[in-house]
Amino acid sequence: MAAHYDLLIRNGICVLPWGMEQTDVGVRDGRIAGLGVAADATAGQTIDAIGLHVLPGLIDPHVHFRDPGDAAVETLPSGTRAAVLGGLAVIFDMPNTAPPITDAERLGWKQEYVERVAWCDVGLYVSGTKTNIADLATLEAGRGVCAIKVFAATAGPDILVEDDATLERIMRAGRRRIAFHSEDEYRLRERRKMFSSGEPHLRHMEWHDEECAFLGTRRLMALARSTGRPAHILHVSTAEELDYLRDFRDLATVEVLVNHLTQVAPDCYERLHGFGVMNPPIRGPRHLAAAWAAVRDGTVDTIGSDHAPHSRAAKEKPWPDCPAGLTGVQTLVPVLLDHVNAGRLSLMRLADLLCAGPARVYGLVGKGRLAAGYDADFTLVDMRRQRRIEESWIVSPCGWTPFAGMDVTGWPVATIVRGEAVMRDDEVLREPHGRLAKFI
């Protein structure tokens, strides 16, 4: 008797951990039941993926959905909707909301909220702060928690941890890999006095200079070495840090952002003004080249969007009153597929950075791998589709993207989460059925 599946994906070129193969994928009960499915198998639903690549469901491990916070800018429903439209099956949401996620009560609220409103699956960061150190070992083991996040710079006083003594106490609490925003807060404060309001936006990368980032990372690596606590350095932005971190691979994993692989100073500041301002800043061509070299040699483990929306009005304020942070969750995959088509990385490496990488770094289980038994998360992409990124396509309420007007080749055409197609051809389907992701 012919095998029966809930869903069959026929004729696509599958990006498997061991290479690319044209093969058929069978899905049952939300999981991958088999590869190389027999021709006579039947299914409740069949997707013909001829001419398409079938990737494991892509993961953006770094977004700020501002919920609770400012619903006019972003919410969990709108942000996860943007994610699936952009070809993402999973996002990890940062804790610096208003109020921030710092205790069991707020985490409990968010766990319940996510499973009512999210369009994709979700991992949650919890803020490690000066006042919740005793609770961190419990909080990091919470349902759906991907990591403790520590802001060693550029954060509100309720979550900022700028000094070595407190950073060390946090590293000695708990055991899982901690994700760090690495800049040196003291140097940033000192340098702020060198600039005045209304100066060109280019000043942003002079204020947040290379040494702010490198010094922050040297301090964190010294503490990681002495405590033995693994660290994930988010949005590494300098050639110096990438070089330095190669000597800490027993402790450190590395994220770079799609912005730091795509945009470059001074162009981003001259063209985009406040809409090019983020932390750590977009820098000059030397750092762009170093980021690509680090993608190619394996230094980089994950690529994120650092989707951090603000209102247009806020971004139009003069520097440095315009808040740092750019949108990106919906554009991450199209921009990276364009880089694949330009020959800057392979589709295999893209799947490594957006699937296997996050799974390895955060201890994500059951996802990130197109293999039997794993969650049936898929991103179907058309590598030949040419399209211009338009702000009219953006569903985040803030309504803007720093990639507006960019012509790309390669586009996500379907997102499937645990066997359910949640996006096809720019259309979001069904009802939200997102779940919390699971971690070791």
Ramachandran sector of residue 71 (left: φ over 0; alpha: ψ -120 to 50; beta: rest): alpha
135 binds Zn ion (CB under 5 A): no
The window from 117-125, 252-260, 301-309, 388-396 that contacts Zn ion (CB under 5 A) reads: 301-309
Minimum gap (Å) between residue 28 Cβ and Zn ion: 37
Minimum gap (Å) between residue 20 Cβ and Zn ion: 32
Minimum gap (Å) between residue 201 Cβ and Zn ion: 19
The window from 109-117, 139-147, 303-311, 333-341 that contacts Zn ion (CB under 5 A) reads: 303-311
Site residue total, Zn ion (CB under 5 A)? 1
Q: Residue 245 corresponds to which tokens in the numbers above?
A: 């971190």
Find, among 433, 378, 396, 407, the residue nearest to 45 by Cα. Answer: 378
Burial level of 131, CB count in 10 A (0-12/13-18/19+)?
A: exposed
Q: Residue 164 corresponds to which tokens in the numbers above?
A: 């070595």
Please say whether the beta carbons of 191 and 209 come within 8 A: yes
**Residue 78 CA: distances (Å) to CA of 229, 294, 408, 421:** 35, 33, 24, 18
Q: Which residue is nearest to Zn ion (CB)?
A: 306
Distance CA 36, CA 24 (A): 5
Q: Is 306 a catalytic residue?
A: yes
Q: Which of 93, 306, 352, 382 is catalytic?
A: 306
Minimum gap (Å) between residue 163 Cβ and Zn ion: 21
Amino acid at 433: H
Whose Cβ is closer to Zn ion: residue 181's or residue 418's?
181
Whose Cβ is closer to Zn ion: residue 9's or residue 76's?
76
Whose Cβ is closer to Zn ion: residue 60's or residue 306's?
306
Find, among 335, 167, 304, 329, the residue nearest to 236 by Cα. Answer: 304
Whose Cβ is closer to Zn ion: residue 52's or residue 161's?
161
The window from 22-30, 102-110, 300-308, 347-355 that contacts Zn ion (CB under 5 A) reads: 300-308
Distance CA 25, CA 376 (A): 9
Q: Which of 140, 306, 338, 420 binds Zn ion (CB under 5 A)?
A: 306
Whose Cβ is closer to Zn ion: residue 307's or residue 418's?
307
Residues that bind Zn ion (CB under 5 A): 306
Query: Looking at the annotation, which residues are catalytic?
Result: 306
